[in-house]
Amino acid sequence: MHKVIYDTDPGVDDAMALLFLHRHPDIDLIGITTVFGNASIDTTTRNALFLKREWGISAPVARGASQTIDPDRQDIGWPTFIHGDDGLGNIGVPETIDLPEDGRSAHRFIIDTVRAHPGEVTLVAVGRMTNLALALREDPDIIGLVRQVVVMGGAFDVSGNVTPAAEANIHGDPEAADLVFTAPWKVVIVGLDVTMKTMMTRDFLAEMAASGRADIKLLANVSQFYIDFYKDRAGREGMAVHDSCAGVYVVAPELFATRSGGVRVVCGGIADGQTIQKAEDRHFGPSAWDGLPSQLVCTDVQPEGVLNVIRAALVDGKRL
Ligand code: BDR
Ligand code: CA
């Protein structure tokens, strides 16, 4: 059983990953922490509460960061053209949800929960890395207490999606990501190298919804705007299930090929937010990668396997 705290900015693909984590029988979802990114912190937190209510999720929701860890960083706004004005595909989420938030900030919730379950908690982080970086800064001892950190973010051997250099979650708070990747805890990075290969078609989603489950019907409804974006802007059939890839890694790491080595994030300049790994078997002169902990970067994936694991969890609540 994997105890998971899900750090998220819902977000359409975040919603699918939330349902996956909620439904997978080997995952014990013990907390949802929100971060700004796909929308403002008010909207992403409202969306987390909405999905919690609709899907009957028991895990508490703790509100997280509303700005980058460096407060002087320029605000880059929200990608409403991808996730909709409401962050959930413009389905008309109610303005407010009558459910309480956990009273703690997200980073405090992470610290308390990790300390309550030493060595057991997996952090699945699929938004900007701000909450994790704040937790590290406030209580560095959690480094030795977390089981692993699985991140959706970055672009290593492929181009970015916000700029040619950078992927959205990392570009949204590069300093925070650099802190998270260079800390000596186990980090697995599931970036665009694999998520852009893992496309779910409209038909695949419709077939899952045809199972009759109301939770999948809501997910399919939420996802249409996002699928339209991929078709209109990128000419792709279906949507990249970015954040679900991180969830699937937790239960089925064998579906991913990985490379070990230290990871840094470019902070500032034209490549702001670029993620760069120094592979363990490469040798260079002195560099900013010297002495870093070795982290795992996903370099390849079996997309059909990932989609099957998602379908099995969503439709049957069972692993294949
Ligand atoms: C990531 O950015 C967000 O828009 C998505 O939810 C995903 O986490 C993909 O680059
Ligand atoms: Ca996300």
Ligand 2 ion local residues (Cβ < 5 A): 9, 11, 14, 126-127, 243
CB 260 within 8 A of CB 292: no
Cis upstream peptide for 103 (omega within 30°): no
* Cα–Cα distance for residue pair 3/123, rounded to 1 Å: 9
Kindly indicate the confidence band of residue 79, based on its pLDDT and cuts at 50, 70 and 90.
confident
Burial class (CB in 10 A: 0-12, 13-18, 19+), 191: buried
Q: Please give the average per-residue pLDDT across 73-82, as a whole number.
A: 88
Average pLDDT over residues 203-212: 96
Residue 320 has pLDDT above 70, yes or no: no
290 is catalytic: no
Domain ranges of the chain: 2-316
Model confidence at 257: pLDDT above 90: yes
Residue 285 Cα to ligand 1 midpoint, Å, equals: 34
Residues within a 6 A CB radius of ligand 1: 11, 13-14, 38, 79, 126, 152, 161, 167-169, 242-243
pLDDT at 263 over 70: yes
pLDDT (0 to 100) of residue 192: 98
Exactly one of 7, 9, 173, 193 is catalytic; name it.
Answer: 9
AA letter at 18: L
Check if the beta carbon of residue 92 is closer than 8 Å to that of residue 86: yes
The DSSP element (H or E) to which 161 belongs, if any, is none
Question: How does the average pLDDT of the chain come out, rounded?
Answer: 96
Q: Are 143 and 183 in contact (CB under 8 A)?
A: yes
- Ligand 1 pocket test, pick from 13, 158, 195 with the greatest ligand atom count within 8 Å of Cβ, gives 13
- Ligand located closest to 242 CA: 1
Q: How confident is the model at residue 319, as a pLDDT?
A: 53
State in Å: Cα 235 to ligand 2 middle.
Answer: 21
What is the tens place of the pLDDT at every residue in 24-61? 999 999 999 999 999 999 999 999 999 999 999 999 99
How many C-beta atoms surround the C-beta of residue 14 within 10 A? Answer: 30
- Mind listing the pLDDT tens digit for each residue in 300-319? 999 999 999 999 999 999 65
Concerning whether 9 is annotated as a catalytic residue, the answer is: yes
Class of domain 2-316: alpha beta
pLDDT at residue 286 is higher than 60: yes
The model's pLDDT over 128-168, given as tens digits with 9 standing for 90+, comes to: 999 999 999 999 999 999 999 999 999 999 999 999 999 99
Q: What is the pLDDT of residue 76?
A: 85
Nearest-CA neighbor of 130 among 220, 70, 49, 219? Answer: 70
pLDDT tens-digit map of 94-117: 999 999 999 999 999 999 999 999
Mean pLDDT confidence for 211-230: 95
Atom of ligand 1 nearest to the CA of 38: 4
From ligand 2's centre to the CA of 210, what distance in Å? 26
pLDDT at position 216 over 90: yes
At residue 221 the predicted structure's pLDDT band, cuts being 50, 70 and 90, is very high
Q: Is the pLDDT of residue 185 over 80?
A: yes
**pLDDT score recorded for residue 318:** 62
Q: Ligand 1, from 195, 243, 248: best to mutate by most atoms within 8 Å of Cβ?
A: 243
Residue 292 DSSP one-character state: P
pLDDT band at 77 (very low <50, low <70, confident <90, very high): confident
